[in-house]
Chains A and B, each alone.
Chain A
Amino acid sequence: MITYESVTKIFGSGRNAVTALDNLNLTIPKGEIVVLLGPSGCGKTTTLRLTNRLEAITRGNIYIDNQNIMDVNPVQLRQRLGYVIQAIGLFPNKTIADNISIVPRLMGWEKNEIEKRVDEMLQLVNLDPGIYRNRYPAELSGGQQQRIGVARGLAADPDILLMDEPFGAIDPINREQIQNEFLRLQAKLKKTIAFVSHDIHEAIKVGDRIALFDKGKLVQYDIPEIILTQPKNKFVADFVGADRALKVLGLMRVSDVMNRHPENILRADERTENALHFLKEKGFRYGIVIDGTMPAGYVTQATLSYEKGIVAGLAEKYPLFLKERTSLRDVLSFMLMYDLPLFCVLDDNENFTGTVTYKDIQQAVKESYAD
């Protein structure tokens, strides 16, 4: 846990004084990722640098697990806090392996333990240890260097991590992948992480909570859903963007809104007259044709009224199926792409478990704004 208690940082003095951080009160709970978010110069990096005492606090206190950081030797404090710096800052004279193993070496780990750890860390950031272990930073792309920076911050397995835009220089495809890997790992390791970002998408994706800063002041501190749906003021609303509803959808999964007991279900061997009668009676424009446990497709009332036979032969196939963990943002884009208002959900054994309709999604967005 990291606690900031009325923390103020002023750089310089007199006419040149800059208040980089203004009376910050914030608690980063144990085991959570808190994203420090905000425009350039709002004090995100300063907050991290005060935490590991790279800068001196002007006023206020910072506690790590209830211990005032001023009571800890700065060198020990910094070895305890994993730090990933914004500018990457790999040592050009050291190989990748030596860069990653800095803190373990400072802490006096065994040599073979260190070697093992280096390879583990390289795999973690998706770089082949056999290829990269003995290279120098200059031989890596910016994105790869940044991944080494992350590996270096994690190498000594610190409980608390300070990460300053750790994925900022990585290309979008790799970034997505690394964010996912990072989240998967965090679900297991439950580290306490102060994560700086200026990207709202990244903040929503990785943050258990978001702390939004403006000009050195903490403006709003909440879970992502609340930041998106209940921005405290115009600054937050503007920062979050006009497409807030879409971003909320990015946070929600199919399992949150799916209909597990849809009624417009037709058996594959049903005769068309009976099927049409059923849909008319219940007031459905179309029915989902289920063949065993798999959806075979869908038929509309119109199709059924022109053709005779069994419905299986008339069913239009679905272009794809959803999983319960698919994000609603993706579902919505499938709906637009394929011009379909409904998709079927399958479990991991390919059994039909329910449906998601455009209406379900709309309802969910409305509800999230209601409270």
Chain B
Amino acid sequence: MISGVFHFISENFSQALYLSWEHMWIVGVALLISAAAGIPLGLYVAGHEEIASPIINGANIIMTIPSIALFGIMLPLLSPINLGLGKIPAIIALILYSQLPIIRNTFTAIKNLPPDLVDAADGMGMTRWQRLKEVEMPLAAPVIIAGLRTAAVMNIGIAAIAVYIGSGGLGVYIQQGIDRFYPEMILSGALLVSVLALIVDGIMAWLERAATPEGIKIQRKLMQ
């Protein structure tokens, strides 16, 4: 069985590579857009706590919708503008799913900064923007990236299901494998999705460390 999987992949190597690329393209585009929306939203919510719980609860609810159901809901909603099927609705769904980890991590990262630092920044005469750039963002960055990491790994899995609305990607092997009762094909798809998830997880973990300010690394080392 295992050897069958490897055999399948090596036989169809260029196609497997293409599907992996397509898969990552969907996830990557969705992640970029999610970050562009979720991080500012998280920052805004951190400054306006009265709207924090409705926004975060909203994102939470989206997250609990099963992906098949979400695709099902989007189909009639987006069909009138001819976007019911294909990559676009898949990307939209992934963006929606990503909002919770990204907004939540951004919000908590900013909220958990020591109040003395915020005070010091204000007291020194920093503008809101300078405070964000010089103090809040550098210190919150690792936690925000951890949110992106969660979102990315989760989306690699969900993207495999988006094949049912015609997104392409590695889900193609799984879907076709099921249709044709071809276990090696199904497993190849599943294996490649897992490998992608592991690679992305590793890259994001590295990014998380790289974004940790030197002073904080030293602080952690000294506290051990």
CB pair B124 A93 closer than 8 Å:
no
Contact of B127 with A by CB under 8 A: yes
- The closest CB in chain A to the CB of B127 belongs to A75
Could you tell me if B215 and A102 are in contact, using CB atoms closer than 8 angstroms?
A: no
Question: For residue A102, which residues in chain B have a CB less than 8 angstroms away from its CB?
Answer: 124, 126, 134
Does B47 have its Cβ within 8 Å of any Cβ on chain A? Answer: no
B40 in contact (CB, < 8 A): no
Q: Is the beta-carbon distance between B117 and A136 smaller than 8 angstroms?
A: no
A79 contacts which chain B residues (CB < 8 A)? 124-125
B125 touches A93 (CB 8 A): no
User: Is A136 a contact of B218 with CB atoms below 8 Å?
Assistant: yes
Q: Which of B184-224 contact A (CB under 8 A)?
A: 213-216, 218-219, 222-223
- How far apart are A48's CB and chain B's nearest CB, in angstroms? 9
Q: How far is the CA of A77 from the CA of B127 in the complex (A)?
A: 12
With a cutoff of 8 Å between Cβ atoms, the chain A residues found around residue B116 in the complex are 85, 87-89
Question: CB of B120 within 8 A of chain A?
Answer: yes
In the complex, A90 Cα to B114 Cα: how many Å?
11
Q: A85-B119, A106-B130, A136-B214 are in contact. Are A92 and B219 (CB under 8 A)?
A: yes
Bound-state Cα–Cα, A148 to B147, Å: 34
Q: Does B93 sit at the interface, judged by CB under 8 A?
A: no
Q: Would you give the shortest CB distance from A53 to chain B, in whole angstroms?
A: 9
Take A85-B119, A87-B119, A89-B117 as given contacts and tell me if A136 and B215 are in contact as well, using a CB distance cutoff of 8 Å: yes
Given contacts A85-B116, A87-B116, A106-B130, contact A92 B123 (CB under 8 A): no
- A138 and B218 alpha carbons, distance in the complex (Å): 7
In the bound complex, residues from chain A placing their C-beta under 8 Å from that of B124 are 78-79, 83, 102-103, 106, 152
Interface size, B (range): 20 to 34
Cβ-defined contact, A93 with B120, below 8 A: no
A54 touches B117 (CB 8 A): no
Residue picked from B124, B215, B218, most chain A C-beta under 10 Å: B124
Minimum CB–CB distance from A196 to chain B (whole Å) comes to: 14
Residue B4 CB within 8 A of the other chain: no
Closest to B139 in A: A93
Chain B, residues 120-157, CB within 8 Å of chain A (1/0): the string is 11111111001000110011000000000000000000
Shortest distance in angstroms between A166's beta carbon and chain B's nearest beta carbon? 13
Residues on the B chain within 8 Å of A75, using CB: 125-127
Tell me the minimal C-beta distance from B67 to chain A in angstroms.
38
A78 and B219 contacting across the interface, CB-CB below 8 Å: no
Q: Chain A residues near B126: list those with CB within 8 A.
A: 75, 102, 106
Residue of B nearest to A94 (CB): B215
Q: Per a CB cutoff under 8 Å, which of B119, B125, B219 touches A89?
A: B119
New contact pairs (11) apart from A78-B124, A91-B134, A92-B219, CB-CB < 8 Å: A54-B119, A75-B125, A80-B125, A91-B120, A95-B215, A103-B124, A136-B215, A136-B218, A137-B215, A137-B219, A138-B216
List chain A positions with a Cβ less than 8 A from chain B: 52, 54, 75-80, 83, 85, 87-95, 102-103, 106, 136-139, 152
Top 7 closest A-B pairs, CB basis?
A89-B120, A79-B125, A138-B219, A78-B125, A93-B213, A136-B215, A87-B116
